[in-house]
Amino acid sequence: MDKSRKFMAVILALLAAIFYAINTPFSKVLLNKIPPTLMASFLYLGAGTGVGIMYLFHRKVEEKYEKLNKADLPYTVGMIVLDIAAPIFLMIGINIGSASNASLLGNFEIVATTIIALLIFKEKVTSKLWIAIGFITVSSIVLSVEGVESFQFSLGSLFVILATCCWGLENNCTRKISDKSTYEIVLLKGFFSGSGSFIVALILGERIPEIKYIIAALLLGFVAYGLSIFMYIRAQRGI
């Protein structure tokens, strides 16, 4: 039973990664029409809306899972705040840098998640994972440097790295509440983080794009964020 559960968790984690991978190239295209902070907002609002529709068909099944409570509040608030900041940083990084570079640098999220889990949450790190962390860190440095002679880091890469660090901490917050209702967690992420980003966008004076681009961003958010986050949380239960 444990092996079957772990195998399913691995499959869900892989699917989560695949769904999330489509985010960068499609966001790069949409960023030509949508300002970065609004783009981040639409992605999370799309995630919340899409998963909310899914919940309507799975409400009875989800009732067996415990709801979030007061003890979960610090992790829930941290998750939401970090989910406001991270995608904004990522969209800025993608907008001023290359989509391919941003996709590869996204792997640094593994490093950030692991280091934070070790230092703050006191989780163990295997030797194999340390080796992987080393390779990812070196690769991230190489991708971030504009030129060997000047050894200057590109601004776009730094924003992507900053986003991965935010998501690294957010992943650990989500891990602490992953045994609770997945739908509730994703809905909170989607609507609260999306609304927070939207308010930031209005404060910054970003202009609302045409409705067709908003719909495209919402659909992308459902797949790349909604389904990805949903499967990632379910995977955490079995790993």
pLDDT for res 137:
87
d(CA 90, CA 82): 12
Per-residue pLDDT tens for 7-25?
899 999 999 999 999 999 9
> What does the pLDDT average to over 39-57?
97
Range scoring the smallest mean pLDDT among 54-68, 141-155, 215-229: 141-155
pLDDT at 200: 98
Average pLDDT over residues 47-57: 97
Contacts of 204 (CB under 8 A, 6+ apart): 35, 37
> What element of type H or E holds 159?
helix 155-176
- Scan for tokens 């703050």, then name that residue: 120
pLDDT of residue 74: 96
Question: Apex CA 194: angle with CA 115 and CA 200, to 5°?
Answer: 95
Cβ(45)–Cβ(157) below 8 Å: no
Assign 4 a pLDDT band (cuts: 50, 70, 90).
confident
Mean pLDDT of 225-229: 97
**What's the mean pLDDT in 220-233?**
97
Neighbours of 108 (CB within 10 A): 25
Mean pLDDT score of the chain: 91
What are the φ and ψ backbone dihedral angles of 145, each rounded to 5 degrees?
A: -80, 130
Nearest to 106 by CA among 79, 78, 144, 68: 144
Q: How far is residue 72's CA from residue 239's CA, in Å, rounded to a whole number? A: 20
Strand partners, 153: 145
At 94-115, the pLDDT tens digits run 999 888 888 889 989 999 999 9
CA dihedral 84, 66, 122, 134 (to 10 degrees): -60
Give the pLDDT band (50/70/90) at residue 123.
confident
Name the residue ranges covered by the structural domains of the chain: 36-222
CA–CA gap between residue 165 and residue 206 (Å, rounded): 25
Q: Read off the tokens for 31.
A: 């960023």
Nearest CA among 58, 57, 80, 56 for reference residue 68: 80
Rounded Cα gap, residues 156 and 170, in angstroms = 21
Mean pLDDT computed over 178-200: 96
What are 104's two structure tokens?
């590869």
Label residue 150 by pLDDT band (50, 70, 90).
very low
Q: Which two structure tokens, joined as six digits, stand for 197?
A: 């980003």
pTM of the predicted structure, to 2 decimals: 0.89
Q: Is the pLDDT of residue 218 over 50?
A: yes
Decide which of 38 and 123 is more confident. Answer: 38
Identify which of 87, 40, 80, 94 has the alpha carbon closest to the alpha carbon of residue 202: 40
